Amino acid sequence: MQLRLVNLALATVLSASILSAQDNVKPPNILWIVGENFDLDFGCYGAKNVHTPNVDGLAAAGIRYTNVFSTSPVCAPSRSAFMTGMYQTTTDTHHMRSHRDDTFRLPPGVRPITQRLQEAGYVTANLKTIGQHEVGTGKLDLNFVNEGPLYMTDDWERLKTGQPFFAQINMPEAEYDIYDRKSGEKSRVKWVGEDWHPKVATADNVTPPPYYPDHPITRQEWARYLNSASGTDVRIGWILDRLEKDGLADDTIVVFFADNGRLEARGIHWCWDSGLHVPMVIRWPKNYPAPKQIQSGAASDELISLIDLTATTLWMAGIDRPVGMQGRVFLGDDTGPARGYVFSARDRIDETEIRLRSVRDKRYHYIRNYTPGAGFTTLNRYKEKCFLVKPLMRELFAAGKLAGPPADLMKPFPEEQLYDTQSDPYEVNNLVDSNQPDHQIALAQMRAALNTWIVETGDRGEIPEPRDVVAPFEKEMHDWFGTPDWYK
């Protein structure tokens, strides 16, 4: 029954039709600046110990969204979703680094947004450099590779021909040097020099979340992450300055957002807010009338999924939202009903097989665990090597030196979690067993919403991957990061 529903849903996805709108009016340029692994850690969101005047300036001139969530807490599934406007769990792109070397194709009617824009007359670009500045990585990291060319150019100069453009810049900054702590600073000096952006955060002035132990390693890691936000802001300044210099700013919609949540041990990979909550700021150009939702300095708490940005970007270009696309348009006069919930999913990430599902409204957050025994301590070699707080917490826990939320984090996940994000923004107090009526009502509603979403979207998470697909990841990740002694 479920598979039939999937087929019916996908069969309704049709190619976009182009609006005639105003025949002789050039549609606006559109620029996506995609942050790599950020929560709301910028000054305009109230973050401390960061210096982010460029993101803050975008927010002052446009609109800042406070309730935007990725569909996955890791890059490839999330990017596969917002590049198509479809949940990765519907299109079979939900496992990290899947379908990289097989014949997989996206389901009929599901297409990358860039191809739809190209058919509407847009030049599409994935940019690494602007003049002398390296501003992006050119990252794709999609779980589909057989759909043909996704971009037409990587040359900034191509955007100055007068043809409308859609450009994407995938920022490098939040990766800093976590991959190789012996040589990382030297090998990545082109991204992370010591003097080219302010290091506002220090181990002495930061306050890490309460689910970590207060320890020098924790503070150092937190400061490095916050400084990466300041570094990203410098690159964004280079981009915005060049838009102005080349006379493109007044015709270009600028959208800054992140692909998934924060680069921290309890962030990326996990379905708490820290792994899913992302910034999004939109600045509208002066030469185009702004939709009613966008006013200078505005803030919106509307619930938005990153797949909604896909449909809304098509709307910006004058293209109808394709029938069957799961993302919704959130700007303009015909947005339809607002979302009551946003949904997210975590499945296999490299060698680590854990299935989680998440439902979020403006206040409550519900997480369901489908993998008994899994938890924060489950082995993932990348995270063991790159986030020093993980081996630290193992050591402290074994010595009986953890208490409260850090000690709770070392336990296997329960089947269900419910958090009141207003009173508990760090999500450390699970309310599933609470007797308060409001909590039980929210729990029942979110359980039902998730069950409905799984059926209606044809969630493929329950379908196991072949063992010959999964097994090689263990060796690959061992070769990359090693296997910790405690696991051998």
Q: What is the pLDDT of residue 10?
A: 46
Q: What is the pLDDT of residue 199?
A: 83
Q: Is 50 exceeded by the pLDDT of residue 226? A: yes
67 CA to centre of own chain: 13
195 Cβ neighbours under 8 A, 6+ residues apart: none
Average pLDDT score over residue span 242-258:
98
Average pLDDT score over residue span 392-412:
98
Q: According to CATH, what is the number of the domain 2-487?
A: 3.40.720.10
Buried b (16+ CB within 10 A) or exposed e, 472-485: ebeeebeeebeeee
Average pLDDT score over residue span 99-124:
97
Average pLDDT score over residue span 398-427:
98
Q: Is 50 exceeded by the pLDDT of residue 439? A: yes
Beta bridge partners of 162: none
Q: pLDDT class for 339, splitting at 50, 70, 90? A: very high
Tokens standing for residue 227: 């400084």
Q: pLDDT (tens digit, 9 = 90+) per residue, 469-478?
A: 999 999 999 9
Token pair 């010591």 is found at 194
- Work out the mean pLDDT of the chain and round it to a whole number: 91
Q: pLDDT class for 282, splitting at 50, 70, 90? A: very high
Q: Is 60 exceeded by the pLDDT of residue 185? A: no
Average pLDDT score over residue span 269-287:
98
CA distance 232 to 198: 11
DSSP 8-state code for residue 413: P
Segments making up each domain of the chain, as ranges: 2-487
Of 22, 475, 64, 94, nearest to 295 by C-alpha is 64
Average pLDDT score over residue span 244-254:
98
434 Cβ neighbours under 8 A, 6+ residues apart: 418, 440
Q: Is 50 exceeded by the pLDDT of residue 286? A: yes
Average pLDDT score over residue span 263-291:
97
Q: Is 90 exceeded by the pLDDT of residue 300? A: yes
Least confident of 9-23, 194-208, 358-372: 9-23
Q: What is the pLDDT of residue 195?
A: 54
Of 405, 403, 377, nearest to 391 by C-alpha is 377
221 Cβ neighbours under 8 A, 6+ residues apart: 208, 264, 387, 388, 389
Token pair 């803030």 is found at 299
Sign, Cα dihedral of 462, 466, 472, 475: positive
pTM of structure: 0.93
Q: What is the pLDDT of residue 187?
A: 32
Q: What is the pLDDT of residue 178?
A: 62
Q: pLDDT (tens digit, 9 = 90+) per residue, 119-154?
A: 999 999 999 999 999 999 999 999 999 999 999 999
Q: Is 50 exceeded by the pLDDT of residue 2? A: no
Average pLDDT score over residue span 379-404:
96
Q: What is the pLDDT of residue 15?
A: 34
